[in-house]
Amino acid sequence: MSLLKLYQNFDLEIDRAKGIKIFAKNGKEYLDTFTGIGVLSFGHSHPDLIKVFTEKLERYSHLSNFFIDEDAEYVAEKLIEFTGTTGKVFYTNSGTEASEGVLKTIRKISTPKRNQIIFFDKGFHGRTTGSLSVTGFPKIKNCFEPLLQHTCQLPFNDSENLEKHLNKYHDQVIAVFVEAIQGSGGIVPLDKGFAKKLEELHQKYKFVLICDEIQAGLGRTGKLFAYQHFGLKPNLVTVAKSLGGGLPLGAILFLENYADVLQQGEHGSTFAPNPVALAGAKYDINHIPKMLPDITQKGEYFLHKIKRLNSDRIQEARGYGLMLAIELIEADETLRDRAFDNQLLLNVINNKIIRLLPALNITQAEMDLIVQKIGEIL
């Protein structure tokens, strides 16, 4: 096999996919509970998205950064509008690229004295050498050290530690990276008290607050951005995953007085924004806002059904909207494979946390079936 094996792939030859189902060449069908790790907001092969992709593709597939696609400005304006403030957008091809663009921005405004970047344990912002420097997973970064200097990892949701550090080193801290709801960390939300303290310190010490909305943003949690649940006022926001309607697309939202930090020639991309992905983004941002109450209601229903399982193996079920987790009391190395045998596709973190990121248009019957299968497996 010529592919570099860096992933734990499912033993599945895919024929096609539709909605929340993946159909194998052997005739079996599987329920997909994580839709491309939160990429497919409307599930697989949504007919309206296929239509807008095809219409754009029939006109052109790529333009380069010497031209502006007609959807680029429209999507950018909507993204900024979603934040409730002013700003500008730079497009990328992925979430990691968005993190890298933010790091360049921070580097530009740093000084020899004020250059420290705070991030949190189990926060995930990408796998490039820059983004790894602000990612709180030692096992995926230690073998690539030394990484960027002047970064500092703090415990997540520890208000006392955060306040103590900033009171002592505020004149050195230039920025703080945070996920309002940690995705790869196990769907762990900010504690409300921690979020309040973070924003208080943000206003007091004027560091750059970067909210990573790559996984949690664009309606996934029942709000347009997850940070809006917690009263944060970020200066920079990163988005990706679901932005392109299933195709690669990311963005950095430079808000208010950070809109003009980067000047012409200081950053760029050959492929971003891809015009076909922009067509998907336009569809997403036109339809997701009116779905928010429904997403919240579905999330509450889904969580209630999971909790009613009353399994003595479940430690906690948690989440916001349709970004949910089931954490087991003990790790189970066979969990994913047993689910697969039951024709259920699960994304399991550390053999212990089931991460559920279903399509936002999932039906009640589909949620019921997923919970039934999880109950059978447990």
- pLDDT tens profile 96-152: 999 999 999 999 999 999 999 999 999 999 999 999 999 999 999 999 999 999 999
pLDDT tens-digit series, residues 178-189:
999 999 999 999
Residue 1 has what pLDDT? 77
Both tokens of residue 14? Answer: 């895919």
| Mean pLDDT for the stretch of residues 195-220 | 98
* pLDDT tens per residue, range 314-365: 999 999 999 999 999 999 999 999 999 999 999 999 999 999 999 999 999 9
Question: Of the residues 289, 312, 336, which one is the last residue of a structural domain?
Answer: 289
Apex CA 205: angle with CA 136 and CA 156, to 5°?
A: 25
Is there a domain that residue 298 lies in?
Answer: yes
Are residues 121 and 209 located together in one domain of the fold?
Answer: yes
The last residue of one of the domains, among 289, 304, 323, is 289
Residues 137 and 58 both lie in one domain:
yes
Residues 250 and 362 in one domain: no
- pLDDT for the residue numbered 3: 87
Give the DSSP per-residue string, 129-191: HHHHTT---HHHHGGG-S--SSEEEE-TT-HHHHHHHHHHHTTTEEEEEE-SEETTTTSEEPP
**pLDDT for the residue 310:** 83
Give me the residues paired with residue 211 across strands: 178, 237
What digits encode the pLDDT tens for the residues 2-46?
Answer: 989 888 899 999 999 999 999 999 999 999 999 999 999 999 999
- pLDDT at position 82 over 80: yes
Structural domain contains residue 5? no
Residue 41 maps to a domain: no
Q: Do 168 and 117 share a structural domain?
A: yes
Domain assignment present for residue 2? The answer is no
189 and 310 assigned to the same domain: no
Round the CA-based radius of gyration of the chain to a whole number and report it. 21
Asked if 115 contacts 174 with a C-beta cutoff of 8 angstroms, the reply is: yes
Given 257, 289, 321, which residue is the final one in a domain? 289
What DSSP string describes 84-132? TS-EEEEEESSHHHHHHHHHHHHHHH--SSS-EEEEETT----SSHHHH
Inside any domain, residue 147: yes
In this structure, the answer to whether residues 103 and 155 fall within a common structural domain is yes
> Which structural domain, as residue segments, surrounds residue 349?
14-32+290-377
Task: Please indicate, yes or no, whether residues 337 and 280 belong to a single structural domain of this protein.
Answer: no
Quote the CA–CA distance of 336 and 63 in Å, as a whole number. 42
Judgement on whether residues 97 and 212 belong to the same structural domain of the protein:
yes
Same structural domain, 197 and 225: yes
Q: Can you give the pLDDT at residue 41? A: 98
Residue 4 counted as domain residue: no
Main-chain dihedrals φ then ψ at residue 123, nearest 5 degrees: -85, 140
61, two tokens: 């597939």
> 56-66, pLDDT tens digit by residue?
999 999 999 89
Domain count, the chain: 2
Q: Read off the CATH number of the domain in which 19 is found.
A: 3.90.1150.10
Same domain for 68 and 101, yes or no, is yes
Identify whether residues 223 and 354 lie together within a single domain: no
For residue 8, the model assigns a pLDDT of: 87
Predicted model pTM? 0.96
Do 114 and 213 reside in the same domain of the chain?
yes
Q: Render pLDDT for 193-207 as a digit per residue (tens, 0 to 9).
A: 999 999 999 999 999
- 370 within some domain: yes
